[in-house]
Structure 1
Amino acid sequence: MRNLLLSALLVALGATSALAEPYRLHAQDQLLVRVVDWDPDANGLAEWAGVSGEYLVASDGTLQFPLAGTVTAEGQTLTSLQEQLAAALGRNAGLDRPPHVTVELVESLPVYVLGAAQTQGAVAYRPGLTARQALALAGGVYRNLATADPMQMARIAGEARLAAEELRQHEAERAAIEAELAELEGPDTPPGGQLPADADLRSRLQVADRVARNAQAASLDSLQQLLRDKADKLRQQIVLRDQQLADNRRDLEGIAELKEKGLAVNARVTALTTAINDIEAKRLDLEATLLMAEQQLNEAERARAAIIDDARSDNLQKLAELEDDMAAAAIRLGTADRLLTQAMLAGELAPEPDAAEQPGFVVTRATDGTPERIEAAPDMALEPGDVLEITLPGASAASPRPVAAAPQPAPLGQVAAADPGLAAR
């Protein structure tokens, strides 16, 4: 008992000393430096705008700072760097007393967690970060999904069920859009579609859009036919006016000859001339009306064609978006299927770890450019850029951890084995 208390005290003292130790800068640290001085004219502090800002410690451990030149930052504490920068700025700027300089650590290189961690990858570093804390940020020790977290299994199975249902709906919508595109490509668009009794809201909207579009197209077809009939009648009236003009001109020529011989009076010539002028004026009106009718007919034909073109364009755009949604749903379904399969496979191969077993920590740290492996205690303070490997006692190649692969669409059979709700679909 005494030994246990002594060990706990030593661990606590080690953690306290690690936290009490001031942070020393490393290469690739991002720093925020503020330089201020007292301005007697403004009766307040004035920041050096051209100097204050964020700076990066170079890979060789140096810091390039205006008016201070090259400063060795690696290995220094924030306080010592502040004092060095303040002295250099005051000296190089010719000031009686150095300005006030503050240095804050913005960001450091992360710690990379590997091995038997729940989530492998980079963990954000902060001063005083220990190996145990980095493991906690990585989700703790890896737990077999199939046995340790049934709620997670149920969640993944639910995601697979939702993805399968979404994929089914997308396939039905794609079939409806492709059928509508086939109708639009045909010579004539049918007047409307029959609505099945079990149609969903999206199908009802599609049918409603189709009915509205066909009604608009039918209205334009009726307008075109009306304009064609009007144009035909105008052409017939123009032909009639041409015949009247020809008859009156022949009569006028005959009267003119009789007048030259003294056998006709001027009143007859004047009457025929007036009649010809009236007929020509009416003919011009008919031609203007015919031209207007033809223009309206062309506009109706263009509007009729635009309805089909717009519908085709909208459906093609919907189809393109639908293909993306289907691909995403297929990927989610395949990922969930693969996760469930790997979790069940891992549950068959790997025994559940003993809760009393403590993980091991191995730190790989670059010292003078050479990687060095260190058997670390749980409360060992880490440094930026360290690689922390988590090991478990008794782990072997026979109990592999599932590795996420590139998601591919997969059949529902494997997912349904983990979630009976899918089998019913």
Structure 2
Amino acid sequence: MLSIDVGTETQMELMARVAAFAVSAAVKYIEKGVCMRIRNTISRCGVAAYFLSGMLGIPAAFLSSPARAEFLLGAGDVVEVSVAGIPALATRATIDLDGKVTLPIVGNISASGISIDALRGRVQAEYSKRAVSLREPDGRTTITPVSPEEVTVNVAQYRPVYISGDLARVGEVAFRPGLTVRQAVAVAGGYDVVRFRINNPYMDAIDFKAQETSLLDELKQEEEKKKYLQAELDRLPEKINLDEEVKVTSPPQPQNSGSLISEQIRAQTDDYEREISHLRGAFKQLAMRASLLDEQKSREEEGSLADNQEFERAKALLEKGTTSTQRVTDARRAMLLSATRALQTGAEASQVRMALDEMSRTLQRRHDERRIRLLTELQESRTKFVRLQAQLAAARQKLGLVGGMKSMWSNGRTGEPEIVVYRNANGKEEKFVGSEATPLVPGDVVEVALHVD
């Protein structure tokens, strides 16, 4: 039984070595006369397949893998047609989406899905059926037949190969006969090792550790802010009692009194206390003025009542003839003057009372705004605190997973690239695993992925 050491060779390299060995063995056997019985059954192109299938147990169909498929024309390929001695018939034509090319004289010819030899035969057959009318330099017109040997058909430009994956550049690669995956990767700038190393667990561990540290610091600040806001909210009463003397208490001191959050909240609290103190001072002055006006109004009302009584006595004396008209007139004037002063004082007292009520509402509104703001900030702080806890737990979980990958990464290495080729053969897409030595045909799509062993 024949034995061959395959080692770490790729599938294509193994097939090439086995085929060469089989052909060499076949020649030796035939030269010695051992294979005379099968000489009539083995064609010149089938010797390798016969020995591979008979001696190695490999089916002959295996040799016709997609990597060895014959190149077939397709939409996008450009063919060049010329006729010897007739430069006017030289042309380049692109195979359209319908799989046809348009040539002078013969018109449309189907070209997709066949080899260049098959297309050459079709074009030669079409031109050989026709005679070409040529104008000589002297003005005469001659009819010249075209023989098949005079017609030349070649591929002027192939469809590109498309390559993607862990590469420096992805996209189209111009096809040249004999192009392999290794050559296409080289044209694309080689493997993108930088992109591949982004998944290095050591680098990920550094990123996740920095994220954990940042989240911890932010979580502590948010916890401090939450406690400070709650303490400030508990210190404020729901309603302001304007009848009681204001007792301003110092705001609670946070654990880290020098932090930016504590300074910000302390500044807001000081601003609120100053505004409330100013409003309370204005309210107190208005209350004192209202009290004075009320006392003045009461005295003027008493004086107006006394002047009214004096006027009534003067009128009674005048009726008895015991007093003069001048006294009655003076009493009436004094009564009207005191009544006017009482009305003016009453109006001014009413205005002060209205201003006092407005000041009371302003104080209560400012107090309520402060409480609402503290409640809103406290709710936002609690929500952010919960979100930071979840993010911190996720970062620690990532650190745990990455830590388990460090030993695997330390012992691992970048293995052979995983190469998958997609090929359109006779209208059907085929997918097979290739290697760097896999030959490509126009229109192939190659995907490259790097892995760690």
TM-score, structure 1 as length reference: 0.54
Is the 8 Å Cα contact of residues 365 and 373 (structure 1) preserved in structure 2?
yes
Q: CA deviation at 1:172?
A: 0.7
Matched, 1:167 2:219: yes
CA deviations 1:374-398 (Å, max 9, x no partner) are 32445979989x794737586xxxx
SS for the counterpart of 1:193 is: coil
What amino acid maps onto 1:232 in structure 2?
A: S
SS for the counterpart of 1:127 is strand
1:286 aligns with 2:345: yes
Q: CA deviation at 1:156?
A: 2.0
> Following TM superposition, by how much is the alpha carbon of 1:169 offset from its aligned partner in structure 2, in angstroms?
0.7
Residue type at the aligned position of 2:393: G
Give 1:359's aligned residue. Answer: 417
Match of 2:172 among 124, 127, 145: 127
Distance 1:351 1:210, change over 3 A: closer
Partner of 1:314: 373
Contact 1:363–1:388 (Cα < 8 Å) also in 2: yes
1:2-151 pair list within 5 angstroms: 126-128=171-173, 140-141=195-196, 145-146=200-201, 150-151=202-203
> Cα deviation per residue 1:339-374 (whole Å; 9 max; x = unaligned)?
21111223456773334x312123568999987533
Decide whether aligned partners of structure 1 residues 354 and 198 sit closer, same or farther in structure 2, where only a CA change above 3 A counts. closer
Q: CA deviation at 1:183?
A: 2.2
Q: Which amino acid aligns with 1:360?
A: E
- Out of 420, 423, 433, the residue aligned to residue 375 of structure 1 is 433
Query: 1:249 matched to which residue of 2?
Result: 308
Task: Tell me, in whole angstroms, the C-alpha distance in 1 between the residues paired with 2:434 and 2:334.
Answer: 118
Alpha-carbon spacing, 1:216–1:161, altered in 2? closer, same or farther (3 Å): same
| Residue 264 (str. 1) matches residue 329 (str. 2) | no
Matches of 1:160 and 1:382, distance apart in 2: 51
Q: Which of 263, 277, 290 is the aligned partner of 1:231?
A: 290
Could you say which residue in structure 2 is the equivalent of 1:336?
Answer: 395
> CA offsets per residue over residues 78-102 of structure 1, 9 Å max, x none?
xxxxxxxxxxxxxxxxxxxxxxxxx
Match of 1:181 in 2: 233
In the TM superposition, residue 248 of structure 1 has moved relative to its aligned partner by: 1.8
Distance 1:345-1:365 versus aligned 2 partners, 3 A rule: farther
- CA separation of 1:144 and 1:196: change in aligned 2, threshold 3 A: closer
Amino acid at match of 2:338: I
Aligned to 1:304: 363
Q: Rate the CA distance shift 1:175–1:229 in 2: closer, same or farther, 3 A.
A: same
Post-superposition Cα deviations, 1:160-194, rounded to whole Å, max 9, x if no partner, equal 11111111111111111122122234456843225
Let me know the Cα RMSD of the aligned residues: 4.5
Q: Is the Cα contact below 8 Å between 1:235 and 1:290 reproduced in 2? A: yes
Aligned equivalents of 1:266, 1:367: Cα separation in 2:
137
Deviation at 1:157, TM superposition (A): 0.8
Aligned AA (1:160):
E
For 2:364, what is the secondary structure of its paired residue?
A: helix
How many pairs are equivalent? Answer: 283
Measured after TM superposition, the shift of residue 271 of structure 1 is 0.9
Q: Helix, strand or coil: the match of 2:420?
A: strand
Which entry has the higher C-alpha Rg, 1 or 2?
2
Alpha-carbon separation, structure 2, partners of 1:326 and 1:346: 31
1:217 corresponds in structure 2 to: 276
Q: Distance in 2 between matches of 1:321 and 1:134?
A: 51
- Could you tell me how far apart the structure 1 residues matched to 2:339 and 2:277 are? 38
**Conserved in 2, the CA contact under 8 Å of 1:251 and 1:272?**
yes
CA contact 1:163–1:333 (8 Å) conserved in 2? yes
Q: In structure 1, what residue type is equivalent to 2:297?
A: I
Q: Which amino acid aligns with 1:373?
A: K
Partner of 1:193: 251
Provide the C-alpha distance between the structure 1 equivalents of 2:233 and 2:75, rounded to a whole number of angstroms: 67
Is it true that 1:155 corresponds to 2:186 in the alignment? no
| TM-score normalized with structure 2 length | 0.51
Q: Percent same amino acid among aligned pairs?
A: 17
- 2:311–2:335: 8 Å Cα contact kept in structure 1? no
- Per-residue deviation at 1:326? 3.3
What code does the residue aligned with 2:399 have?
A: L
Aligned CA distance change for structure 1 residues 376 and 283 (closer, same or farther; 3 Å): farther
Asked if the contact 2:224/2:254 (under 8 Å) is kept, the reply is no
1:216–1:141 distance in 2 versus 1, CA, 3 Å: closer
